[in-house]
Homo-oligomer: A and B are copies of this chain.
Amino acid sequence: MNATIKDVAKKAGVAISTVSLVVNHKGHVAKETELKVLRAIKELNYHPQRSARGLVTKQSGNFGFILNGNHFSQAEPFYTKIFLGTEIQARSFDYYILLTTITQNVTPKNIPRFLLERNVDGVILAGSVPHKIVDYLHKNQLPFILIDYYFPERHDSTILTDNAMGIRLVIDHLLELGHRDLAFIGGDMGHPSMQKRCSTFKSYLQQKGAPIEDAKIDCIEEHSGTESGFAATTRLLEKNISISAIVAANDAMAVGALRACRDRKIRIPEEIAITGFDDVESSITARPTLTTVHVPKEEMGAAAVRHLVDVINGRQSEGVRIIMPVKLVARESTLGAIPPG
């Protein structure tokens, strides 16, 4: 039904191998011959078939994207953006993305099928991901890169956000606004990003000579969603200690904090200012809009793809650690309502 390289060769009156050379821009082909071949290709609407090509080159033209299923349902917008970033960048390099979500507890044999069947040329892993999979990739020498996660004891290629910088920006912003009693809420402390945000909060505040009390830090929540933010904030408020601003470990928790305050008729930011982290959609749909740290999510996905492509082409070796810059986005939850007009 569909034209093959053979048909093209016949129509152009050349050998199959010559067509291949033209298609792949390899070797020395006379201008004239090339034209003949190109014309035949166009006329027959020929496109090389992936599987045939892959059989000999051992390249699939795909990247795998592995995502913790919990993440995708919970912190959806964050990882969706990253995924979108990979998709677009991958397309520009003529790759496709095979997405799969995995459950946290990988049973012995649920390595994603695309790995077993060697149907990907590289793998992107976003968020917390089982050690076992990374081991598998390592053993099979498949290029891979982690996004927003890492194993402290290993030296994998990784893309991280500048969590420390983000927290510093937030603190500077709040201090500048005159806040003195800062609190911190976090959760999911198994995640290195969360840990970093929390630890930076403490260390930087100390460095700034601001008072820092453990009572104002609540990081015991297991997850880091809206409910967790709500719960943590409620606990803080019930302590009846002086708090003028709450720094949340991410936007979802900040929204929870917003809600907890709202329930108690606490005015934001007049009585308590609140900040988030990530700059996902909800930070702008929330009322008041959320002051937060912008994380370049799409760019992180794109950078991951570029790295894989570079590794495959031997232009870069594995083991790099890319730290993406962040910036502060000041909105109503610290500045107050922007006067209309």
Q: What's the nearest-Cβ distance from chain B to residue A73, in Å?
A: 8
CB-based contact B114/A255 at 8 Å = no
The contact string, 1 if C-beta is below 8 Å from chain B, for chain A 47-62, is 1111111110000111
Q: Does A286 contact B (CB under 8 A)?
A: yes
Name the B residues within 8 Å of A116 (CB-CB): 47
In the complex the two chains form, what is the Cα distance from A77 to B81 in whole Å? 11
Residue A285 at the chain B interface, CB threshold 8 Å: yes
Chain B residues positioned under 8 Å from A118 (CB to CB): 2, 47, 49-50
Expressed in whole angstroms, the minimum distance between the Cβ of A75 and any Cβ of chain B is: 11
Known contacts A77-B76, A87-B99, A99-B99: does B94 contact A50 (CB below 8 Å)? Answer: no
Does A213 reach chain B (CB closer than 8 Å)?
Answer: no
Q: Which of A97-120 contact B (CB under 8 A)?
A: 97-101, 113-114, 116-119
Q: Does A205 touch B at the CB level, under 8 Å?
A: no
Contacts of A244 in B (CB 8 A): none
Residue A340 lies at the interface, judged by CB distance under 8 Å to chain B: yes
- List 8 tightest A-B contacts by C-beta distance, closest first: A51-B54, A51-B51, A47-B116, A50-B117, A50-B119, A51-B55, A96-B98, A52-B55
Provide the A112-144 mask, 1 if CB < 8 A to any CB of B, else 0.
011011110000000000000000000010000
Contact status A255-B285, CB under 8 Å: yes
**Can you sample 7 A-B contacts with CB below 8 Å?**
A51-B51, A76-B77, A76-B80, A96-B113, A96-B119, A282-B285, A285-B286
Please give, as numbers and ranges, the residues of chain B lying within 8 Å of A99 by CB-CB distance. Answer: 87, 96-97, 99
Min CB distance, A2 to chain B, in Å?
A: 7
Residue A149 at the B interface, CB < 8 A? no
CA distance A54 to B84 in the complex (A): 28
Question: Does A96 lie within 8 Å of B100, measured CB to CB?
Answer: yes
How far does the alpha carbon of A88 sit from the alpha carbon of B67 in the complex, in Å? Answer: 12
Q: Give min CB distance, A140 to chain B, whole Å.
A: 8
- A238 interface residue per 8 A CB criterion: no
Report if A204 contacts B (CB, 8 A): no
Q: Is A287 at the interface (CB under 8 A from chain B)?
A: yes
Contact call A87/B100, Cβ cutoff below 8 A: yes
- Whether B98 and A91, one on each chain, are in contact in the complex, defined by CB atoms closer than 8 angstroms, is no
A98 touching B97, Cβ below 8 Å? yes
A171 to B262, CA, bound (A): 31
* Contact A72 B84, CB 8 Å, known A47-B116, A96-B98, A96-B114: yes
Asked if A153 is at the interface (CB within 8 A of a chain B CB), the reply is: no
Most chain B beta carbons < 10 A, residue from A50, A55, A84: A50
A50-B117, A99-B99 known; 11 new pairs, CB 8 Å cut-off, are A2-B118, A47-B117, A48-B117, A51-B51, A88-B101, A96-B100, A96-B114, A96-B119, A226-B285, A281-B282, A285-B286
With A and B bound together, what is the CA distance between A88 and B72 in angstroms? 12
Contacts of A61 in B (CB 8 A): 117, 119
Q: Which residues of B have CB within 8 Å of A119?
A: 50-51, 61, 96
